Structure 1
């Protein structure tokens, strides 16, 4: 029972902090704000998260895990016989359509770039991992062992760029053209 209550508090804190970060940004969200919005005392919050950095790291870890799961799902779908162009559209749309996670992703990147070295290091590690997963997915789609590292390194920042454009409200009409181009590029491994 105590373990369930603890994980319930932790979950509630993470959910509230995520919402506040989306609304106010990381810099303008304080632990006091999070405690107040969660409906717990600052002491209780500090029991779970002695620093804002630790809370941000947990939010980041959850976010990274979610994106990694999406990429794993993409790899599994590639075994289901989807055409490569359709598969890429599904991946792009799935990742960029989550507004809440998208906002958190952008805020976390901003924080990593503007002074949070541990978060920056975490992104560096995860981007390497995600690139590897994309390469693996491309090999499975094409049923070969060619080197798709260059194409994977194009797809990953493309996802970030499409996400930012989506959050800004830029029309996504170019997604069909982008996936056609990438599908053609996949036929020419580097």
Structure 2
């Protein structure tokens, strides 16, 4: 009898612990989502912890339970954002047909990444924060950019056919184009020439 009660209590305790962990995880995820949205609307510097706590509907004490500082939160938002962009780029690369032309590969990479409008807004704000105010964040961006260079370089190299192009230089150019086109789309430039850009680069001998 006592054994059964003990097991029941153990199961109940285990269930409560799992529920608490899930609740904590959900609150933390809610904080990250809301903070990202506020930062995209107001900018990183102008978004306060009080703004975030009020928008989520929690106390500042609860906010500090999950994040020790605003920098801690910004770093996690940036890490999540950069990982998502890297994962998406990797997925698109994996789905490219092996026989696809060099021009087609360029077009896919340039257009799809540049069209990540929500991500692009957050990317620009976080990049500005990294450049102006946050050395740790800047180093994180640097590491991720190097990953992107390598990923783009490897992808383009496998579709070069007979072209004699310095693929490493080209990978830097493509990533720079992605940043530039993302900014142009954010300011409302229409008719960004994704296909034309890919065609022009592909025509280089």
- TM-score, normalization: structure 2? 0.84
Which residue of 2 is the match for residue 35 of structure 1?
53
Q: How many Å separate the matches in 2 of 1:4 and 1:114?
A: 36
In the TM superposition, residue 50 of structure 1 has moved relative to its aligned partner by 1.1
Task: Provide the C-alpha distance between the structure 1 equivalents of 2:147 and 2:42, rounded to a whole number of angstroms.
Answer: 30
Out of 3, 22, 26, the residue aligned to residue 4 of structure 1 is 22
Q: Secondary structure at the match of 1:142?
A: coil
Question: Among 117, 123, 129, which residue is 1:99 paired with?
Answer: 117
Cα displacement (A) at 1:99? 2.0
- Matches of 1:175 and 1:99, distance apart in 2: 15
Q: Which runs of 5+ in 2 are unaligned?
A: 1-18
Partner residue of 2:15? none
**Map of 2:149 onto structure 1:** 131
The CA distance in 2 between the partners of 1:143 and 1:78, in whole Å, is: 15
2:179 aligns with 160
Structure whose CA Rg is larger: 2
Q: Shift of the alpha carbon at 1:75?
A: 2.2
Q: Deviations over 1:118-162 (max 9, x none)?
A: 111111111111101111111222379x85101001101110000
- TM-score of the pair, normalised by structure 1: 0.90
Residues in 1 aligned to 2:44 and 2:192: alpha-carbon distance in whole angstroms: 31
RMSD, matched Cα: 1.9
Query: Displacement, 1:3?
Result: 2.1
Per-residue CA deviation, residues 157-188 of structure 1 (Å, 9 max, x unaligned), is 11000000010111234222211012223xx4
| Structure 2 match to 1:58 | 76
8 Å CA contact retained: 2:75, 2:137:
yes
**Please, which moves more after superposition, 28-37 or 95-104?**
95-104
Cα shift at 1:36: 0.5
* Contact persistence 1:78–1:140 (CA under 8 A): no
Moved more, 123-132 or 84-93: 84-93
Tell me, yes or no, if the aligned pair for 1:89 and 1:175 is still in contact at 8 Å: yes
In the TM superposition, what is the alpha-carbon distance from 1:80 to its structure 2 partner?
4.8
**Hey, what's the Cα distance between the residues in 1 that align with 2:201 and 2:30?**
40
CA contact (8 A) 2:148 2:175 kept: yes
Shift of 1:91: 2.1
